[in-house]
Amino acid sequence: MTLGACAGCCVSEDYREDDELSGLKVLRGGEFLGSRFRYKVKVANESEFVVTDVTVTLLSFPRDSLKLEGEVTKIIPKTDCQGFRSPTLHQPKIA
């Protein structure tokens, strides 16, 4: 399953609410740390199953005013049942 985080979260078209993975929740947030912006995505597994190979991609952001450090895609190899993972995307420090 591919999850994308942008102004709102969206889930790929092959996901349906009645699937076994309906216990998967995606949240987003961000904060300024000095002159840097940190964007976080929280993938919470509220099901009774282990979820593997979740891909989180930042689909859209203002590329003329925001540069990212590293990749726009993060892969979460495993999330235990009733657990969560929070990949972080950073803006490089402004000199």
Given pLDDT bands bounded at 50, 70 and 90, which one contains residue 3?
Answer: very low
**Quick one: pLDDT at residue 70?**
81
Q: Give the global pTM.
A: 0.65
Q: Could you say which DSSP state residue 91 is in?
A: P
CA dihedral (17, 1, 43, 87) in degrees, to 10, reads -160
Domain boundaries, the chain: 2-90
Could you report the per-residue pLDDT of 37-56, keeping only the tens digit for each?
A: 888 889 999 988 999 999 98
